Amino acid sequence: MAVPPSDPRTPDDLARLPVPLTSFVGRERERDSIESWLCSANVRLLTLTGSGGAGKTRLAIQVAADLAEEFTDGVRFVSLASIRDPCLLVETITAALGVREASGKDHRKRLYRYLEARHLLLVLDNFEQVVEAAPEVGDLLEAAPRLKVMVTSREALRLSAEQEFTVAPFQLPDPRAASDADEVAANVAVQLFVQRARSVKGDFLLSPANVATIAQICIMLDGLPLAIELAAARIKLLPPHEMLERLKRHTSLRLLSGGPRDLPPRQKTLRSAMQWSYDLLTPGERALFRRLAVFVEGCTLEAVESVCAAESTPGLDLLDGVASLIDKSLVARTATDVGEPRFEMLETIREYGLERLQEAGEAEAARCAHAGYYRALAAEGERQLRGGDEGVWLRRLEREHDNLRAALRWSLDRGDARLALQLGGSLWQFWQMRGYLTEGRRWLEEVLAYSEGDESAMRVKALHGAGVLAHYQGDFGRAADLCGRSLALARRLGDAESCALALTGLALVARAGGNFSTALAMYEESLALYRELGDSWGIAHCLLYAGIVSYLGGEWAAARPLLEESLELHRRSGGTQTLAYCTGILGDISRLEGNLPEAQRLIEESLRLSRALGDRRGTARTLFAAANLAVVRGRYAEARARYLESLAILGETGEKWFISAWRAWPRCSGSGEWRPRSWERPTRSGRRWERRGRRL
């Protein structure tokens, strides 16, 4: 048998570290942590995991270069990018290290013998496509006690000796400080963009004119190093503002191409990096990955099970499938404030998943399932916001707000008026409680325009919700129109529950106009309907607002029993928002009656409940009452602070009618000491509460 010619290359030639052509940016902390781990006697195998484009290879090369002198026999780098067959792992390592097979000798034994006495750091790059060969790495470590292995992979090897280090995307710039040039310039994602932009356009500078735009570009690219580098490479063609506009139009995968020719193909475009990961999935995992892309800002396991049903992911257990996608760094697992796991995709990965979903012809079915799930969630949230779990459900709806928005937008774009009505009609109270007055009203107005001609109880609810939100924005004319149409439709339907709800909306408008007797009559009619229906929440709600009307009309003696009955019902049901509101009004009545200790106790309880619930409107309202109490007690500094905090919240929510009321209250005196400029005790005059002749 002919003897093969000897390979003139040495192991150092075959497995030398790649020489980076760009500077190392922004991973100093991660680099130091990894180097510390690899220098520890207890760590033999360290796997750097992360999504495609996160910079695992670049980080591994830098660490290996830094540690070359720490290992007697240096470091060796083995790229696995060209192989897919796990059986070729040992042969690839053997060839890279220059260990040639001898006739009749097992190449594994030759490799083990080569490594057994060496103090060496072996870097195995792109292990994800041969991950089934992970046990071979364990065998290498057992055969060579002084060997250490650093792996880069999109999923862990799951070996007992393994330590995993997640290479996350860069920390994003703070959008609230996007105009602060110094703070933005200190962000590592921005630094990477600027450095790579300068490499193609030498005069590129971060300036006050472009700093906010570049910060937003890095945010939209999820802080993913590969995406940032590819975007920066386009700076000669696209100025930052135009680049941002293209990203906003979801063209990032088309924009992020044209990387340097000497990069591996998978790193020349972000789409190639995504395709690289996608091709390694099983058919069932691919189907699950595509379906998960319909979720915006993540989802719960319950949502996965509903939207990604078994029939859409054949041959795959959903729990195992999600776990596998997490292992492959395509999905991230996070914990919510209640400990419930949540599963999220980077937006760049999600965009790729949506492309594959459309390409597979599954987009319509997936979005329909998504909208159906969130319609049911919104309906359940509406019920729960009337009970003792409203705090939990407010937080849950807040977490799912982006998905609810996506479901609403899809239903409107598709022309599904009924689905849009169901979503909007169920969400108006959430929007009110969380202070999304402008957004909620905009959604409901659009939903109502699409559903013109619909004659259903759901449209009654949507008209009512839009009217209530318009009222709190101070648009009383539009509020009267919407609430009036809501009541008219409810009466045509002959639906007692719809009539009871619609009456409360129109009563709210009458109250805002100072028509207290009309408002009180409407609340009393609504209360009678709710009593017939046996609806305890509706009864408590009407009692509360009837009490408020009497309170605003100066009839404190009449208001107190209504409010106290409402308070008792709310304590039984556990409804925190209305409990807080009722307590606060009773506290203000105590102030007006001169019982200041009782007023202090009730107002502080109301404020505590509103803050705990995250009810911004309720918090602002109670702060206003607390400020009034502080004025009566002569605590002007405290009053000023509470007025200002109340105004800040109301300014964010756009609650104009309350802001107008706030502006009628005290200001700083000419001497600079804060005193109530126009304060006088409220007086009773018929059914009006007056200050300087102005009805509140």
Query: In terms of domains, do 184 and 156 share one?
Result: no
Residue 9 has pLDDT above 50, yes or no: no
Give 307-349 pLDDT, tens digit per residue: 987 666 667 788 888 988 887 767 888 776 666 789 988 776 7
Last residue of a domain, one of 237, 271, 305: 271
Instruction: Please tell me the predicted confidence (pLDDT) of residue 339.
Output: 66
**644 within domain boundaries:** no
Residue 507 has pLDDT above 80, yes or no: yes
Query: In terms of domains, do 59 and 191 share one?
Result: no
Closest to 445 in 3D by CA, of 431, 508, 435: 431
Query: In terms of domains, do 238 and 344 share one?
Result: no
**DSSP line for 309-322:** -GGGSTT--HHHHH
Q: In angstroms, how far apart are the furthest CA atoms of the chain?
A: 118
User: What gap in Å lies between CA 82 and CA 129, rounded to an integer?
Assistant: 10
Share of the chain above pLDDT 90, in %: 28
Query: In terms of domains, do 37 and 158 share one?
Result: yes
Residue 95 identity (one-letter amino acid): A
SS3 120: strand
**314 within domain boundaries:** yes
Instruction: Please tell me the predicted confidence (pLDDT) of residue 257.
Output: 53
Sheet holding 120-125, edge to edge: 75-79, 120-125, 147-153, 45-49, 162-166
Q: Measuring CA to CA, how many Å separate 12 from each of 96, 123, 147, 151, 417?
A: 9, 13, 16, 19, 68
User: What gap in Å lies between CA 653 and CA 657, rounded to an integer?
Assistant: 11
The answer to whether the CB of 244 falls within 8 A of the CB of 251 is no
Q: Looking at residue 333, which CATH number applies to its domain?
A: 1.10.10.10
Q: Which stretch of 26-40, 128-142, 179-193, 421-435 has the lowest confidence by average pLDDT?
A: 179-193
Query: In terms of domains, do 105 and 200 share one?
Result: no
Residue 180 has pLDDT above 60, yes or no: yes
Last residue of a domain, one of 148, 166, 184: 166
How many domains does the chain divide into? Answer: 3
**299 within domain boundaries:** yes
**333 within domain boundaries:** yes
- How large is the average pLDDT for residues 665-689? 37
Instruction: Please tell me the predicted confidence (pLDDT) of residue 667.
Output: 42
**645 within domain boundaries:** no
Query: In terms of domains, do 209 and 309 share one?
Result: no
Q: What is the pTM of this model?
A: 0.65
**DSSP line for 519-580:** HHHHHHHHHHHHHHHT-HHHHHHHHHHHHHHHHHTT-HHHHHHHHHHHHHHHHHHT-HHHHH
Residue 303 identity (one-letter amino acid): A
Whole-number average pLDDT of the chain? 81
Residue 212 has pLDDT above 80, yes or no: yes
Residue 5 has pLDDT above 50, yes or no: no
Domain range for 235 is 175-271
- How large is the average pLDDT for residues 585-612? 89
**139 within domain boundaries:** yes
User: What gap in Å lies between CA 363 and CA 357, rounded to an integer?
Assistant: 5
If you average pLDDT over each of 529-538, 617-626, 648-657, which comes out highest? Answer: 529-538
Q: How many CA atoms lie within 13 A of 509 on its CB side?
A: 25
Check residue 169 and report its DSSP letter: P
Q: Which stretch of 9-18, 180-189, 381-390 has the lowest confidence by average pLDDT?
A: 9-18
Give 407-420 pLDDT, tens digit per residue: 999 999 998 999 99
Query: In terms of domains, do 261 and 302 share one?
Result: no
Query: In terms of domains, do 288 and 236 share one?
Result: no
Residue 353 has pLDDT above 50, yes or no: yes
The answer to whether the CB of 107 falls within 8 A of the CB of 94 is yes
Instruction: Please tell me the predicted confidence (pLDDT) of residue 178.
Output: 64
Q: Please provide the size of the chain in residues.
A: 696
If you average pLDDT over each of 243-247, 372-376, 589-593, which comes out highest? Answer: 372-376
Question: How would residue 103 be classed by pLDDT, with cut points 50, 70 and 90?
Answer: very low
Tracing tokens 């063609």 back to the chain, one arrives at 237
Give 427-441 pLDDT, tens digit per residue: 999 998 887 888 899
Residue 561 has pLDDT above 80, yes or no: yes
Query: In terms of domains, do 266 and 309 share one?
Result: no
Last residue of a domain, one of 247, 271, 295: 271
SS3 percent helix, strand, coil of the chain, rounded to 5, is: 60, 5, 30
Question: How would residue 363 be classed by pLDDT, with cut points 50, 70 and 90?
Answer: very high
Q: Looking at residue 68, which CATH number applies to its domain?
A: 3.40.50.300
- How large is the average pLDDT for residues 476-487? 94
Instruction: Please tell me the predicted confidence (pLDDT) of residue 666.
Output: 46
Residue 253 has pLDDT above 70, yes or no: no
Closest to 622 in 3D by CA, of 671, 654, 658, 651: 658
Query: In terms of domains, do 256 and 347 share one?
Result: no
Question: How would residue 692 be classed by pLDDT, with cut points 50, 70 and 90?
Answer: very low
- How large is the average pLDDT for residues 474-482? 92
**55 within domain boundaries:** yes
Residue 10 has pLDDT above 60, yes or no: no
Check residue 616 and report its DSSP letter: H
Query: In terms of domains, do 37 and 161 share one?
Result: yes
Tracing tokens 């925190």 back to the chain, one arrives at 576
Tracing tokens 């689905």 back to the chain, one arrives at 419
Query: In terms of domains, do 321 and 243 share one?
Result: no
Question: How would residue 147 be classed by pLDDT, with cut points 50, 70 and 90?
Answer: very high
**350 within domain boundaries:** yes
Question: How would residue 372 be classed by pLDDT, with cut points 50, 70 and 90?
Answer: very high
**DSSP line for 588-610:** HHHHHTT-HHHHHHHHHHHHHHH
